[in-house]
Amino acid sequence: MKIDKEQVSIRYSNRVAILIDMMKPANLYLLGGRGTGKSTDILANRFIDVMYDMPGAPFAWVADTYMNLMTNIIPEIKMAWESRHDFFENYHYVIDKEPPPHFKKAGATFNYKHTIITCLGNKVFLKSLDRPSINAGISVVHLFGDEAKYMKESSLRKLNPTLRGDIVKYGKSPFFMGQTFVSDMPDLSVGEHDWMYRMKKRMDPDKITMIVQAARILNEVNLELYQAETINADPRKIELIRNKQGRWEERCRKVRYGSTFFHVVSSFANVDVLTIKYLQTQMETLTPEEFKLVILSIKKEMEAGAKFYANLTNDHFYNDEYDYDYYDAAGYQSNITRTSAGLRHVNPDMAIEAGFDAGNMMSLVFGQEQGDTYRVFKNIYTISPDWIRELANKFLSFFATHKKKFLILYYDRAANNYNKSRNDFASNLKHDIENDGAGKRTGWIVQLMSVGQGNIAHAEKYHLMNVLMSGKERRLPKLRIATSECKELKSELEICPVEKDKTGQIKKVKKGDKLQPLSRLPLESTNLTDAFDYLLCRRKWMAIVKQRGAQSFGSLNVR
């Protein structure tokens, strides 16, 4: 292979990315710390490698939800392709549309929705675990996935049968039937998934050592050839080096078949770019536990203890949140954004109910009572210095197309203490939802539901929530919570602890509300759970629980 000096470019890459680029294993499972270039360098570049090694082959790109794939993952990969890899839309690939004439034909294609088509004729199916209907019937030869910590292994396993491509066409590539997944370290305490750790058992260290050794020799031969061609060395010498290059390319290819590389790497692998100052700042602003998780990639162990929402289970969450017919009608090219119009289980002709919690994190949790089911379908929040105006703006943007513009707002009864000064948080939020930043009426009407009501004790909330979540009281609705649109609420509900105070009364532990940095609050505090409590602790349901009498649920070992 003659090295074209015109096509040689110089760019920085960290040691882990260089190692993976040299090895090119059939399967790659990488857990990396913050800033290691997992997506922008390693995953983006590996896709291009696989594409050129199997031109015309079908692939699949997988995510936990289709919304996450199209609004977060693909845009980030696009940016990386264009800024770091000179891989450009409409020249090297297209998304959700028919390719230009200069592209090689991508097999028999009748619909370009949910696809990336490359200039070499590769068809990349854009798949998600929350849309099993669009995963059926496809046949691919390589799977790609980012943010693997959000993917349930049981759901991902259902995609494995799609790896059944044409061995006659593509079987000569070591990437054939391979997988590429990257992620930062999962935090099991907030409901993330650690299935990638089990991939370590698939790795043969001796085989990986052989690949590295062969790849290093091939790299030296490539450099030798480049230098010889640069100085216009004797043609016979160049021919000998090319022959040696061909032999080592074949050796590398053979040893890569069936290989798996599992690796855990910290942010220090990219210290030349991140700088020591960045890592020092992270150490100063993160807790030791968080620094170990997100920077050092050290797995966090689950903490035992009694939970406030003791009867909360996976059955309380639903995954079919999005009306993909709505999003498919527009497609990726319309710049997909999340709005209430795209939620399957929101009735636009019904009023919206919300629970509101105020503080350095302003929190709103939204739901509707639909027959015998209460659906919690969205949470939004702002973190200081953003305040009530910014929270209202998020609400107005997300629910812009909602037809019945009536919001029923439940909130902390203690906030009523401020209403004499006409400066209570709930009244401010009501004003900012009913009027935009310019003072113009928005058409929304907000009804404040907590005026004149007293506070509700933690024990009363505890008993209501656990009766409600037990599903044994037929007079209470079934509770269903959206998995993706309430990701932060889900995390808080799952880790919220309970204790007994000095008087023996049940109390929600709220130490997490003082966490620093503030960016930790959405997943680790109790702010959204408080908004959730205000939304559901209404008089009619509290009365039903009182009729049953006080009951204990879950662990009795409440400290």
Residue 255 domain-assigned (yes or no): no
Provide the pLDDT for residue 556.
41
Q: Could you write out the DSSP letters of every residue in 68-81?
A: HIIIIIHHHHHHHH
Instruction: State the pTM of this model.
Output: 0.77
- Do residue 41 and residue 190 come from a single domain? yes
pLDDT for the residue 104? 92
| Residue 421: predicted pLDDT | 40
Whether 511 maps to a domain, the answer reads yes
> Residue 107: inside a domain, yes or no?
yes
- For 245, the enclosing helix (H) or strand (E) is helix 235-256
For residue 439, which amino acid is it? G
Domain boundary among 156, 179, 204: 204
Percent of the chain with pLDDT over 70: 90
Q: Each residue of 471-488: pLDDT tens digit?
A: 989 999 999 999 999 999
What residue ranges of the chain have pLDDT lower than 50? 415-422, 550-559
- CATH code at 45? 3.40.50.300
Q: Is residue 170 part of a domain?
A: yes
Where a domain ends, among 146, 176, 204? 204
In a domain, 245, yes or no: no
CA distance 92 to 6: 19
Q: CB of 409 within 8 A of CB of 449?
A: yes
Supply 170's token pair.
């593509």
pLDDT tens per residue across span 456-466: 888 899 999 99
Q: Which of 411, 403, 308 is nearest to 353 (CA)?
A: 411
Q: In CATH, what number is assigned to the domain containing residue 387?
A: 3.30.420.280
Asked if residue 349 belongs to a domain, the reply is: yes
What residues form DSSP beta bridges with 374?
A: 369, 479
- As a whole number of angstroms, the distance between CA 41 and CA 154 comes to 29
Do 197 and 319 belong to one domain?
A: no
Q: List beta partners, residue 183.
A: 31
In a domain, 304, yes or no: no
Q: What is the dihedral sign for C-alpha 454, 457, 461, 466?
A: negative
Interatomic CA distance for residues 293 and 123, integer angstroms:
36
The predicted-structure confidence for 25-42, as pLDDT tens digits, reads as follows 999 999 999 888 899 899
Q: Provide the domain limits for residue 82.
A: 25-204
Same domain flag for 183 and 322: no
pLDDT of residue 246: 93
Tell whether 367 is covered by a domain.
yes
Among 204, 233, 252, residue at a domain's last position: 204
Q: What's the domain count of the chain? A: 2
